[in-house]
Every structure is written in C-alpha cells, then in structure tokens.
Amino acid sequence: MFKRAILWAAAAGLVLALEASAGAAPVAIVNPGFETHVLADGDWSWLMDNEGWGYVANGGNLGPWNPEADYYGGNAPEGQNVGWTNPGTEDGGFGQVLTETLAAGMTYTLTVKVGNTAGYDWSGYRVQLLAGGTPQASGDGSDYAGEVTGGFLLAEDNNTVTIADDTFGTSTVTYVYNPAHSAYLGKPLQIRLLCRGGGTGEEEVDFDGVRLDAVPEPATLALLGLGGLSVLLGRKHR
C-alpha cells in the first residue's frame, strides 16, 4: 500500500514536471521585438522585408522605430525598438505566419506590449491568434514587407485594455483548443497586431515584446502522467 502511494505521488510529480517543462519555452517568433534593424534614437523605417512580419490590409504602412525622449520617455518596453503601424482605411498592421502548427490538447497564450503614441490619434488595437494563412512573399531584404492573407480567427483581444497616452499596456489572448476547430489541426499559427481603422487616418499603435506560449491542457498532462505511472507499475511487476 505504501509503495502504491509512492507510485501515485511519482505520477503526480511527473504531471507537474511536464507542466513546468511544457511552459518553459515559448513558440518561435521571428523578430518578436522588432530589433532586426539597429536604429539611432528617433529613427524609424518602413523596410521590413524578410524580417518575419508582413502587413495586413494597410499597404505596408508599418516598420521598426527607436522612440526618442519625446515618446515613452525614450524607452521601448523591451530592447531598443518597437513596431509602429497606421491602419489605413480599415483595421491593419502586422501579420506573421509561424512554423508552429495548431495542435489538439493545447492552450496557447499570446502576450504583446501595446503602445498609445503621444501626438497621434488613438482608435484602439486588435491582437489576434489565427490558424492558417499565407505568409508574405520573400524579397531581396531591402523592400517593404509583403502582405499576409487568409487564416481562421481562433481568439483575439479587441481593444479591451485601457492604455493611457504615451504608455504601453499588456494585451493577453488565450486560446484553449476547441475540437470544433479540428479542421485546422496542423495548420500554421498566425499572429496579427492591428491598429483599428475607421478614424481620422492619423492613428498609430505601437507593439513590442510579442510572445506565444503553448502548454498542454491538464487532461493531456494527466494522460501523460498516467502513462508514466503505468511504466512504473509495469517495472514493479517484472
């Protein structure tokens, strides 16, 4: 009886260990902090070809920016740069199709720093996680970002965080795998960081510190733990 209790405790420990290790490494995102360009204070660029991020619906009106002292106290939330974008006539901004694919039994958590730029109008933001989509075409490394299209919306934060002028807030999007979305299993995940349109045309939203974590759901971890327990019991009887 005592040995059996030890085995169950070992299985529980295995579940906890699996959970901890599963959340340790984030999903790979290319250029998550918009740091590929080395920019002096106050410098910005439109040139983002082959740097992970394409554009969504705004003609490529986006790029990296190293804020000077008049904006955010001259400091990006992470590193030196942020990603800036204007919406155009509709919601628009950054998009990236990842190599990671949608998997069953997973919980995905997307976190992004969102900035309300001083001196620009504010129409709000949208942070989205999608499955599928077509990444931008690759260029010669000196052009504007290409367009990202398609994809099925899994979850989003549609401007739920109040962000004061000249500050950043943190947007969090969580998606727990839904069996109703089984048709999208194996499709690449896609991230979109959008400035909401329909305003004056002078809006801007800045983004930084993009991170996506994928963690097995508790039921999946429990099955793995039970599998570990069966191995332990099997060894006990041999």
Name the residue range of residue 159's domain.
26-216
Rg (C-alpha) for the chain, rounded Å, is 21
pLDDT tens-digit readout, 174-216: 999 999 999 999 999 999 999 999 777 789 999 999 999 999 9
Q: Which pLDDT score, from 0 to 100, does residue 219 have?
A: 52
- Residue 221 in any domain: the answer is no
- Residue 14 in any domain: the answer is no
- Residue 235 in any domain: the answer is no
Identify the CATH number of the domain in which residue 54 sits.
Answer: 2.60.120.260
- Residue 19 in any domain: the answer is no
Q: Which pLDDT score, from 0 to 100, does residue 3 have?
A: 46
- Residue 181 in any domain: the answer is yes
Q: What is the dihedral of CA 34, 64, 73, 92, to 10 degrees?
A: -100
Decide if pLDDT at 9 tops 70: no
Provide the pLDDT confidence category of residue 140 given band limits of 50, 70 and 90.
Answer: confident
Decide if pLDDT at 18 tops 60: no
Q: What share of the chain in percent tops pLDDT 90? A: 69
- Residue 85 in any domain: the answer is yes
- Residue 232 in any domain: the answer is no
Decide if pLDDT at 171 tops 50: yes
- Residue 176 in any domain: the answer is yes
User: What distances in angstroms separate CA 150 from CA 34, 57, 90, one per listed residue?
Assistant: 23, 11, 16
SS3 189: strand
User: Hey, what are 204's tokens?
Assistant: 């801007």
- Taking alpha carbons only, the member of 72, 78, 87, 62 closest to residue 42 is 72
Count up the domains in the chain and report the number: 1
Residue type (1 letter), 4: R
Instruction: Tell me the whole-structure pTM to 2 decimals.
Output: 0.84
- Taking alpha carbons only, the member of 204, 133, 128, 123 closest to residue 172 is 128
Q: What share of the chain in percent tops pLDDT 70? A: 81
